[in-house]
Amino acid sequence: MQDQINTIMDETLAAIADSGDLKGLDDIRVAALGKKGAVTGLMKQLGGLDPDARREVGQELNRVKDAVQSAIDARKEELERAELNLRLEVERVDVSLPPRPEALGSVHPVSQVMDEIIAIFCEMGFAVAEGPDIEDDWLNFGALNIPDEHPARQEHDTFYLPASGEEGRPVLRTHTSPVQIRHMLSHQPPLRIIAPGRTYRSDSDMTHTPMFHQVEGLVIDETTHMGHLKGCLRDFVEAFFQVDNVPMRFRPSYFPFTAPSMEIDIGCSFEGGELKIGEGDDWLEILGSGMVHPNVLRHGGIDPDKYQGFAFGMGIDRVAMLKYGIPDLRSFFDADLRWLRHYGFRPLDVPTLYGGLAR
Ligand code: PHE
C-alpha cells in the first residue's frame, strides 16, 4: 500500500506542477481528493487493516491529503497571478495617446459657463470658494439676516432635511449666499471670492428646476463701495456676453443680506424670436446684488465699522440659456445625449479670456 501511496503522491504533485489553468487544476483535485478520488479510495481501504497499520497508514494518507491540498493552493495562486498579469498586459491603455476626435464627449453648457465665469473673475483677482450643498438653517438664513418668520424663507421653497441633533435644521441650500458667511468666518479681509455651485428650491417649470446653479460674489475691504460693484459687474457682463457697452440698469430691490440692494438688468432685443444682448429696448434681469448688510458682516466675524463691501448672486443656468440660446431649462438635466451633442462644448477648448471664451 505504501508504494501505491507514493505513486499517487508523486503523480498528483507532478500533475499539479504541470497544470496550465484553473479548470485543469480542479480536475486534478477531484481525481485525488474527490469522493471517487485516488486518496479517498485508499482511505476506504483502511477498515480492512489491523489497528496499528490502520493508524500508521491513516496518518500517512492525511499527510498526503494536506500536501496535495497545499500544492493545489500554491499553484492556484500562481495561475491567478499569471492570469492577472496577462490581462494587465493585454488591456494596457496608453494614457499618453492623443484623444480620438470621433470618440470625444462634450462639456455640458453649465460646466462651460461656470468655467467661463471663473476665467473672467479670476482675471480680476477673485479666488474660487466653495461650500456644501447641505447647509444648516443658520448659515442659509439666520446669518444672512433672514429671521425665522421672514417671508423670504417661504419664497425660497426650501427643502428641509430631517434634524440630526442639537444643531439647526439641515436644508439643501437655497442659494450660494451661505458661502459668504463661511468664507468670512475662515478668512481675514480683504476678501474677493466667487462661489459657483448647486442650489435647490422646490420649484419646477420652463424656467425653474428643483436643482439649479448660482454663482455668488463677495468683495470686502475698507473702502469698497457701490462704484466698485457697478464697475466689476459691467466688466463681467461685457466679457461674458462679448459685447461692448451693454446697456445696464441697476434697479433698486430688496434682499435681507444687502443694503442698499439692486437687481441688474441688461439691454436686449427679441426681434424675430432671436435674443440679441446689448441692443434694443427690452431688459433682462440677470443678477441680484448690493452692499453687504452690517449684520451679515457681524455674523461673519467682521467689524462693520472698519470693513464694507458688496455681494452678488447670479443664476448660472439662466445666463447659459441667454448666451447660448437654449430655450428650456429642464432640458439641461434630461441627460439627453442628442441635446448634449448639440449644445455641448469641445472638452479641449478650455475657456480663457485671452484664448476667447467660447466658440
Ligand atoms: N442670494 C440671492 C438669491 O438667491 C442673490 C443675491 C446674492 C442677492 C448676493 C444679493 C447679494 O436670490
Give the bridge partners for 284, in sequence order: 266
Q: Which atom of ligand 1 is nearest to the CA of 176?
A: 1
- Which of 173, 257, 261 to mutate to test ligand 1, by most ligand atoms within 8 A of the CB atom? 257
Which of 183 and 48 is assigned the larger pLDDT? 183
Q: Which atom of ligand 1 is nearest to the CA of 313?
A: 7
Q: Which atom of ligand 1 is nearest to the CA of 218?
A: 9
User: Cα of 193 to ligand 1 centre, how many Å?
Assistant: 15
User: Cα of 282 to ligand 1 centre, how many Å?
Assistant: 23
- 10 Å CB burial of residue 152 (0-12, 13-18, 19+) is middle
Q: Does the structure show a pLDDT above 50 at 359?
A: no
Q: What are phi and psi of 234, to 5 degrees?
A: -65, -50
List pocket residues of ligand 1, CB cut-off 6 Å.
Answer: 175, 177, 255, 258, 288-290, 311-313
Dump pLDDT digits (tens) for 149-186.
887 777 678 898 988 766 678 999 999 999 999 999 99
* Nearest Cα residue to atom 10 of ligand 1: 289
Dump pLDDT digits (tens) for 114-158.
999 999 999 999 999 999 999 999 999 999 999 888 877 776 788
User: Cα of 292 to ligand 1 centre, how many Å?
Assistant: 11
Q: Which atom of ligand 1 is nearest to the CA of 217?
A: 9
Average pLDDT value over all residues in the chain: 90
Q: Which atom of ligand 1 is nearest to the CA of 289?
A: 10
CB of 231 within 8 A of CB of 264?
no
* Nearest Cα residue to atom 9 of ligand 1: 312
Quote the percentage of the chain above a pLDDT of 70: 97
Residue that the C-alpha cell 450643498 belongs to: 133
Q: Provide CATH code, domain 109-343.
A: 3.30.930.10
User: Cα of 161 to ligand 1 centre, how many Å?
Assistant: 22
Which of 19 and 148 is assigned the larger pLDDT? 19
User: Cα of 329 to ligand 1 centre, how many Å?
Assistant: 20
Q: Does the structure show a pLDDT above 60 at 65?
A: yes
> Which pLDDT does position 4 carry in this prediction?
86
Cα of 223 vs its chain's centroid, Å: 37
b/e per residue 212-250 (b: at least 16 CB within 10 A): bbbbbbbbbeeebeeeebbebbbebbbbbbebeebebeb
User: Cα of 29 to ligand 1 centre, how many Å?
Assistant: 72
Q: Which atom of ligand 1 is nearest to the CA of 314?
A: 5
> Which pLDDT does position 166 carry in this prediction?
66
Dump pLDDT digits (tens) for 68-87.
999 999 999 999 999 999 99
Alpha-carbon distance of 40 to 33, in angstroms, equals 6
| Overall pTM surpassing 0.85 (yes/no) | no
Encode the chain in three state secondary structure: CHHHHHHHHHHHHHHHHHCCCHHHHHHHHHHHHCCCCHHHHHHHHHHHCCHHHHHHHHHHHHHHHHHHHHHHHHHHHHHHHHHHHHHHHHCCCCCCCCCCHHHCCCECHHHHHHHHHHHHHHHCCCEECCCCCEEEHHHHCHHHCCCCCCHHHHHCCCCECCCCCCCCCEEECCCCCHHHHHHHHHCCCCEEEEEEEEEECCCCECCECCEEEEEEEEEEECCCCHHHHHHHHHHHHHHHHCCCCCCEEEEEEEECCEEEEEEEEEEEECHHHCCEECCCCEEEEEEEEEEECHHHHHHCCCCCCCCEEEEEEEEHHHHHHHHHCCCCHHHHHCCCHHHHHHHCECCCCCCCCCCCCCC
> Which pLDDT does position 169 carry in this prediction?
83
| Start-to-end Cα distance in the chain | 86
Quote the percentage of the chain above a pLDDT of 90: 62
- Which of 156, 212, 226, 255 to mutate to test ligand 1, by most ligand atoms within 8 A of the CB atom? 255
User: Cα of 216 to ligand 1 centre, how many Å?
Assistant: 7
Dump pLDDT digits (tens) for 235-285.
999 999 998 888 999 999 999 999 999 999 999 887 777 778 888 888 989
* Domain spans of the chain, in order of start: 2-90, 109-343
Q: Which atom of ligand 1 is nearest to the CA of 199?
A: 4
User: Cα of 28 to ligand 1 centre, how many Å?
Assistant: 74
Q: What single-letter amino acid sits at 298? A: R
Question: Per-residue pLDDT averaged across 105-116, rounded?
Answer: 93
